[in-house]
């Protein structure tokens, strides 16, 4: 599936081109059966189909609203992670009170260690959000389906390779043996801050403030995990999908007789147009079905905002942006700051 974040009408047509072709074939086949082969019993009243269309529209609208709420909540959560991460590193940077030269050198190394550990947390969290769930679509490069239109960093390198530069060997082994790796890193961060306080390098009040920030980060992690681990209820998604397809197959059989009847009336004044007027139902039928199907697909595309599709919350770019921000906050050497991720076709991931 190829979707650009800038959803122009042209891109929507590209996105749904296969469905459009199928809808055109469907409408044409039913029209040929009705008009050419004179199978006139192949019709249903328009009014019941219109009622079905109304019910389907309400159901799809509900589904799209729910999907939008999920993706918007996910974006707010990661926006909170941005703010909390910056505040955490700034507070850590300005919370030491060692004033001798040796203390300043130790302070700088400690700030770098805490900052690197936070980067490891960000990295492990985005990898956790990209973990595939059975209810999600398959976008990853697994030999069966190649992603050539956009770049998902988590599918190209392993978590271990990504966090190794930011953790000590002991910490890395501890994190990798835990199921919830972001939570393990937060635990290491909390223990380190407590140890610094016991060594009188941080004020007790500063520890409380930093612990509140860690609690906020943990809460944001939990909210992100809640969206990731609890899918949009399938009873709503499945019913919407099946109802749209029922409507799709009934619609041509309801529209064709209406156009045929209109053609008879038109033939009184314009025989040529009237005789072929029934064929005009094909573009109208395709447009109506296409609108309903596209609304359905938009809702489906937003149900899982972390699965690695082009319409997801761009957590890879967000995490890399935070990484660059906090490394610059602690005056890290520019050569040690990672570059932003490559965004193919202007699609942020």
pLDDT tens-digit map of 143-167: 444 445 667 877 888 889 889 999 9
Within a domain: 67: no
Is-contact 154 126, C-beta < 8 A?
A: yes
pLDDT at residue 217 greater than cutoff 90: yes
| Same-domain check for residues 210 and 254 | no
Within a domain: 49: no
For 200, phi then psi, to 5°, come to: 65, 35
The DSSP output letter for 303 is S
Within a domain: 5: yes
Average pLDDT over residues 91-116: 79
| Same-domain check for residues 131 and 228 | yes
Q: CA 118, CA 190: separation in Å to the nearest integer?
A: 11
Q: CA 302, CA 163: separation in Å to the nearest integer?
A: 29
Is-contact 299 64, C-beta < 8 A?
A: yes
Q: How many structural domains is the chain composed of?
A: 2
| Same-domain check for residues 209 and 254 | no
pLDDT grade for 107, boundaries at 50, 70 and 90: confident
Kindly report the pTM of this predicted structure.
Answer: 0.82
Q: Which residue has the higher pLDDT, 34 or 238?
A: 34
Average pLDDT over residues 193-197: 90
State what percent of residues in the chain have pLDDT above 70: 89
pLDDT at residue 138 greater than cutoff 70: no
Within a domain: 310: no
Average pLDDT over residues 331-349: 77
pLDDT at residue 99 greater than cutoff 70: no
| Same-domain check for residues 31 and 145 | no
pLDDT grade for 20, boundaries at 50, 70 and 90: confident
**Maximum mean pLDDT: which of 145-149, 198-202, 282-286:** 282-286
Within a domain: 55: no
Q: CA 179, CA 119: separation in Å to the nearest integer?
A: 19
The DSSP output letter for 145 is S
| Same-domain check for residues 159 and 224 | yes
pLDDT at residue 6 greater than cutoff 80: no
Within a domain: 62: no
| Same-domain check for residues 123 and 200 | yes
| Same-domain check for residues 164 and 237 | no
pLDDT at residue 347 greater than cutoff 70: no
Q: CA 326, CA 151: separation in Å to the nearest integer?
A: 24
Q: CA 95, CA 207: separation in Å to the nearest integer?
A: 9
- The residue to which tokens 């099946």 are assigned: 242
| Same-domain check for residues 36 and 87 | no
pLDDT at residue 188 greater than cutoff 80: yes
Within a domain: 284: yes
Q: How many CB atoms lie within 10 A of CB 332?
A: 16
| Same-domain check for residues 90 and 205 | yes
| Same-domain check for residues 217 and 237 | no
pLDDT grade for 97, boundaries at 50, 70 and 90: low
pLDDT at residue 140 greater than cutoff 50: no
pLDDT grade for 224, boundaries at 50, 70 and 90: very high
Q: What is the pLDDT of residue 143?
A: 43
pLDDT at residue 222 greater than cutoff 80: yes
Within a domain: 336: yes
| Same-domain check for residues 153 and 266 | no
pLDDT grade for 182, boundaries at 50, 70 and 90: very high
Q: Considering only CA atoms, which of 124, 156, 130 is closest in space to residue 141?
A: 156
Q: Which domain holds residue 90?
A: 78-232+315-349
Q: CA 76, CA 72: separation in Å to the nearest integer?
A: 6
pLDDT at residue 142 greater than cutoff 60: no
**Mean predicted lDDT score pLDDT of the chain:** 84
Average pLDDT over residues 122-130: 92
């Amino acid at each position: 599936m190829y979707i650009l974040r800038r959803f122009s009408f042209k891109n929507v047509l590209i996105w749904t081109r296969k469905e459009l072709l199928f809808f055109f074939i469907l409408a044409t086949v039913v029209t040929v059966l009705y008009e050419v082969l004179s199978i006139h019993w192949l019709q249903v009243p328009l009014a019941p189909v219109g009622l079905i269309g109304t019910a389907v529209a309400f159901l799809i609208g509900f589904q799209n609203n729910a999907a939008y709420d999920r993706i918007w909540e996910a974006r707010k959560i990661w926006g909170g992670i941005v703010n909390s991460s910056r505040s955490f590193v700034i507070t850590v940077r300005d919370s030491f009170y060692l004033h001798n030269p040796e203390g300043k050198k130790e302070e700088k190394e400690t700030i770098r260690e805490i900052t690197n550990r936070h980067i490891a947390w960000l990295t492990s969290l985005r990898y956790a959000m990209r973990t595939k769930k059975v209810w999600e679509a398959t976008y990853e490069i697994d030999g069966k389906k190649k992603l050539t239109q956009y770049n998902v960093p988590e599918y190209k390198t392993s978590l271990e390779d990504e966090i190794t530069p930011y953790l000590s060997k002991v910490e890395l082994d501890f994190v990798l043996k835990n199921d919830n790796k972001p939570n393990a890193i937060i635990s290491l961060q909390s223990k380190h801050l407590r140890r610094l306080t016991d060594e009188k390098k941080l004020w007790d009040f500063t520890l409380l403030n930093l612990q509140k920030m860690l609690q906020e980060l943990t809460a944001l992690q939990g909210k992100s995990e809640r969206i990731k681990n609890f899918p949009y209820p399938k009873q709503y998604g499945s019913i919407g999908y099946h109802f749209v397809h029922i409507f799709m197959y009934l619609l041509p059989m309801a529209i064709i007789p209406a156009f045929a009847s209109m053609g008879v009336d038109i033939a009184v004044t314009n025989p040529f147009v009237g005789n072929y007027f029934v064929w005009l139902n094909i573009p109208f039928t395709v447009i109506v079905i296409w609108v309903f199907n596209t609304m359905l697909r938009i809702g489906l595309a937003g149900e899982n905002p972390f699965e690695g599709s082009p319409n997801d919350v761009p957590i890879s770019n967000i995490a890399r942006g935070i990484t660059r921000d906090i490394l610059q906050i602690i005056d890290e050497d520019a050569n040690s700051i990672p570059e932003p991720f490559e965004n193919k076709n202007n699609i942020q991931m």
